[in-house]
Amino acid sequence: MSKIFDILTIVGARPQFVKAATLSRAFSKHGQFSERIVHTGQHFDANMSDNFFAELSIPAPAYNLHISGGGHGRMTGRMLEGIEALLTDARPDAVLVYGDTNSTLAGAIAAAKMHIPVVHVEAGLRSFNRLMPEEINRVLADHISTLLLCPSSKSIKNLATEGITQNVHHVGDVMYDATLYAKKHASTKSSVVNALNLEPGAYAIATVHRAENTDCYENLKRVVTVLKEQADICDVVLPLHPRTKAALTRHGLNLNGIITTDPVGYLDMQQLLSEASLVITDSGGLQKEAYFHRVPCLTLRSETEWVETVDCGWNRLWDQPQYAPQKIIEEYGNGTASTICADIIYNYLKHLKP
């Protein structure tokens, strides 16, 4: 009888919940996996956590560490301690981490030091800005991961430049899988566009949360200026991240003329994206989701790890005067990335532990 492989999935932030949902469905269909989810608690607000699990039909976390707040060192250290304790008891066949958060780094370090294979989904991404904590997290996670699952050929080249060539695979983008799934549900389950009295195709959806913008007065002031300039053209909707809300108050900046809401659930966000005329964001994930909905994006940063969206004309950095000519991004696959990931993980573990 074929071995059932035990996967421990580490998540903590809402984009990771979305990605984890696609792999959880793929694991279930594959039939040779048993998965347990660890929620570090990094995103603790119900709109940023609990609702996502319900909307995406993600299995309830087997463990919740309830770790949030504090500086990067304190948060990551507490997560590392908590995950190490879980791994000591659970001893899974592999630990699965996503993206570039403190939860990702803590999970990767804990597993690597216990000689448990680390699978990194969205490996190889680089913004080449070491001032971003996310860049540090993704670089370190890649260098201690066992199996690196990459969304694009560029990410594979980035890894090769750093000397990482073994167990590297181009799988496509699991977020595209998630978007296709959401499209089937959002149009019937979300009424957010009507609730906000928005005219489809005549508003911009914005998000702001990165520390480089919220913690720097000059950057945050520039963000507010960009949003207000766009609000002179059309409605701008900004689901307000708790960090951003606190930073605006701290810096004495206002959002007059901009429609603000509490953080929205995943299906509501997908519905807002699908009927927007423009996306304005500093989020890496939303840059791609804008493309998946074929909506132009303005990124409130001077660099991006998702260079394909810029090169193919769907995204522009705020220092760039115009968009490149639009073309389809073949790199991200056809919506089967999660299935490809599951097959690769299974084949790797099968040969590792026959």
Radius of gyration of the chain (CA): 20
Count other Cβ atoms within 10 Å, centred on residue 211: 16
pLDDT tens track of the chain, all 354 residues?
Answer: 478 999 999 999 888 988 999 999 999 999 999 999 999 987 665 554 556 667 777 777 899 999 988 888 999 999 999 999 999 999 999 999 999 999 999 999 999 999 999 999 999 999 999 988 999 999 999 999 999 999 999 999 999 999 999 999 999 999 999 999 988 888 888 899 999 999 999 999 999 999 899 999 999 999 999 999 999 999 999 999 888 999 999 999 999 999 999 999 889 999 999 999 999 999 989 999 999 999 999 999 999 999 999 999 999 999 999 999 999 999 999 999 999 999 999 999 999 866
pLDDT in tens, 38-82: 999 876 655 545 566 677 777 778 999 999 888 889 999 999 999
Yes or no: say if 305 and 277 are a contact pair by the CB < 8 Å rule. no
Write the DSSP symbol of residue 330: G
Q: Which fold has domain 178-331?
A: Rossmann fold (3.40.50)
| Domain parsing of the chain, residue ranges | 5-172+333-352, 178-331
The neighbouring-strand residues paired with 238 are 260
Cα of first residue to Cα of last residue in the chain, in angstroms, is: 11
5-172+333-352 has CATH 3.40.50.2000 classification: yes
Q: Same CATH fold, 178-331 and 5-172+333-352? A: yes
Report the distance separating Cα 316 and Cα 307, nearest Å. 10
Instruction: Enumerate the active-site residues.
Output: 209
Give me the amino acid identity at 345. I
